[in-house]
Amino acid sequence: MGTGLFGKNSGGIKVPHRKMSDKKMIEGASLPKVVTVPMGQHLGAPAKPLVKKGDVVKTGQLIAEPGGFISANIHAPISGTVKKLVIMLNVVTSKPMEAIVIESDGRDEWSLMPKMDDWRSRPKEEVLQRIKGAGIVGLGGATFPTHVKLSPPPGKKIDTIIINGCECEPYITSDHRVMMEYGEKVIKAIPILQWLLDCNNVFFAIEKNKPDAIQHITDLIAKHGVKGVRVASMKTKYPMGAEKTLTKSLLGREVPMGSLPLDVGVVVQNVSTVIAIHDAIYDGKALVERVVTVTGNVKVPKNLMARFGTPAVELVESCGGVVGDADEIIFGGPMMGISQPNLNSPTTKGTNCILVKKAPDVEERDCFRCSSCIDACPMNLMPTMYVLLAKKSRWEDCETLYYVNNCVECGSCAYVCPAKIPLVQYIKTAKLEYRKLGVKK
């Protein structure tokens, strides 16, 4: 077993970068004629629709409200008419969910919130409500509602904020380009986080394979004289961008099993999330778009500012279309991304990348106890045991004996497995079945 995250023999892996679009400037994607807006774009309960067929909406208008405490607002990504409400499959949870279909009027008329340039003079709760009202969630992949993350419970003192610019997965370059082109917004929004969390100590973490971003952010911090912010040049090793991994690697603080970074005094925010906070406070804009890397087997890989609900095929075609013998489309990177049923899948708040590739033609073999997965696991778990237990439907043992819920599903174990066992699939199944047991009890 390892001695600590990214310490000696402690897991994590080296993966090929394949950053095909890291020098490509962000381009604005064409406005889609029709968007399909899923209600499950965030961690937690799906949102509840507030509109019906025939309603006319503006860009940024609230069209769905939170369905629970851990949930988020959803806004119209284009102006136009609600054509229908449909049921679609949530590919992440494998459960049906509602979605709102909007047809564009071609005008892109916005519904903006009042600007809050004077945020320092307002109650903190009012600023948090603005972040909640804008529908902001973690844009690094987890999609956890940001207003909840910025509201630590009483007794949880935050002493360090980490701005996460690591972007450790292969292919994805959206955060890299955001730092290079919208870095001023990030720097301008950091004081909001410091004020809300009553914490001045900030680390801006960037992997060493992005030297231009490290230098650019360092220069911006000096230019704007932001107090308490330091750039941390991190080791290039996957999954450095996972918040528990980053907390351990940067601060030496190990997040206990079943806990979050806030339990060790830390809040981690992705750079794109921080920009969304900037836009909500200073521009009055709800979260309706993000930068998406479109890469892999496409003619011209790009970074596109795309509205949520845009069919993937439109973004792929704007990059010259599919080339070669690609037959798979993934939302996200090759390590943690989710394979989509077809090219018409709509983008969501969590879609930071569209990866077009040839699906691997591999056959799962029996585990021969090489322990490669154990060596690779950054959480010091035993992935091979989840396969053994899952095949025997021993779901409770996966958690009570081997702590399956502490797995961050980074895919390092499956990447190094010589038997080509889809370990993450077994792990996700084990987590799902264990939760079902809890509900029954």
Tokens 């968007």 sit on residue: 35
Integer-rounded Cα radius of gyration of the chain: 21
Residue in 233, 232, 255, 231 with CA at minimum distance from that of residue 242: 255
Quick one: pLDDT band at residue 440, thresholds 50, 70, 90?
low
Q: Do residues 265 and 400 share a domain?
A: no
- In this prediction, residue 9 carries a pLDDT of 42
Structure tokens at 350: 């969590």
Query: Average pLDDT in the 23-39 region?
Result: 97
Whether residue 59 lies inside any domain: the answer is no
Whether residue 395 lies inside any domain: the answer is yes
Q: Which domain holds residue 430?
A: 372-440
Final residue in a domain of this structure, among 260, 283, 306: 283
- Which H or E run contains 440? helix 423-440
Q: Do residues 255 and 376 share a domain?
A: no
CB 256 within 8 A of CB 171: no
Tokens 């952010």 sit on residue: 217
Structure tokens at 390: 């899952």
Give 246: exposed, middle or buried? Use CB within 10 Å, 0-12, 13-18, 19+.
Answer: buried
- In this prediction, residue 7 carries a pLDDT of 39
Whether residue 69 lies inside any domain: the answer is no
Final residue in a domain of this structure, among 249, 283, 317: 283
- In this prediction, residue 107 carries a pLDDT of 97
Query: Average pLDDT in the 267-293 region?
Result: 98
Query: Average pLDDT in the 71-94 region?
Result: 92
DSSP state of 315: H
Q: Do residues 157 and 261 share a domain?
A: yes
d(CA 95, CA 148): 24
Q: The whole model's pTM is what? A: 0.94
d(CA 429, CA 406): 14
d(CA 266, CA 247): 8
The region of weakest confidence among 58-67, 212-221, 348-357, 360-369 is 360-369
Tokens 């370990």 sit on residue: 423
Query: Average pLDDT in the 283-306 region?
Result: 98
- Which H or E run contains 290? strand 289-296
Tokens 């405490």 sit on residue: 69
Cα dihedral angle (62, 63, 67, 72), rounded to 10 degrees? -50
d(CA 19, CA 207): 13
**Whether pLDDT at 400 is above 80:** yes
Averaged pLDDT of the chain: 94
**Whether pLDDT at 336 is above 70:** yes
Going 112 to 275 to 149 to 175, the CA torsion angle's sign is positive
Q: Do residues 245 and 381 share a domain?
A: no
Final residue in a domain of this structure, among 262, 283, 304: 283
- Close Cβ partners of 262 (under 8 Å, ≥ 6 residues apart): 149, 152, 156, 158
Q: Do residues 134 and 243 share a domain?
A: yes
CB 151 within 8 A of CB 300: no
Residue in 253, 151, 161 with CA at minimum distance from that of residue 201: 161
d(CA 136, CA 147): 7
Q: Do residues 142 and 272 share a domain?
A: yes
- In this prediction, residue 2 carries a pLDDT of 33
We report the CATH number of the domain holding residue 231 as: 3.40.50.11540
Query: Average pLDDT in the 303-319 region?
Result: 98
CB 220 within 8 A of CB 180: no
**Whether pLDDT at 239 is above 60:** yes
CB 42 within 8 A of CB 139: no
Query: Average pLDDT in the 272-290 region?
Result: 98
Q: Do residues 128 and 251 share a domain?
A: yes
Whether residue 97 lies inside any domain: the answer is no
d(CA 215, CA 235): 16
Tokens 């903190």 sit on residue: 124
Whether residue 391 lies inside any domain: the answer is yes
Distances (CA, A) of 423 to 168, 363, 404, 430: 20, 13, 12, 11
Q: How many domains does the chain have?
A: 2
- In this prediction, residue 10 carries a pLDDT of 56
d(CA 138, CA 92): 16
- In this prediction, residue 359 carries a pLDDT of 87
What are the pLDDT digits (tens) for 158-211?
999 999 999 999 999 999 999 999 999 999 999 999 999 999 999 999 999 999
- In this prediction, residue 439 carries a pLDDT of 58
Whether residue 293 lies inside any domain: the answer is no
- In this prediction, residue 5 carries a pLDDT of 41
d(CA 179, CA 212): 10
pLDDT over 90 for what percent of the chain?
89
Structure tokens at 125: 């709760």
Q: Do residues 126 and 247 share a domain?
A: yes
Q: Do residues 136 and 249 share a domain?
A: yes
What are the pLDDT digits (tens) for 103-145?
999 999 999 999 999 999 999 999 999 999 999 999 998 899 9
Whether residue 8 lies inside any domain: the answer is no
Whether residue 156 lies inside any domain: the answer is yes
Going 143 to 144 to 145 to 151, the CA torsion angle's sign is negative
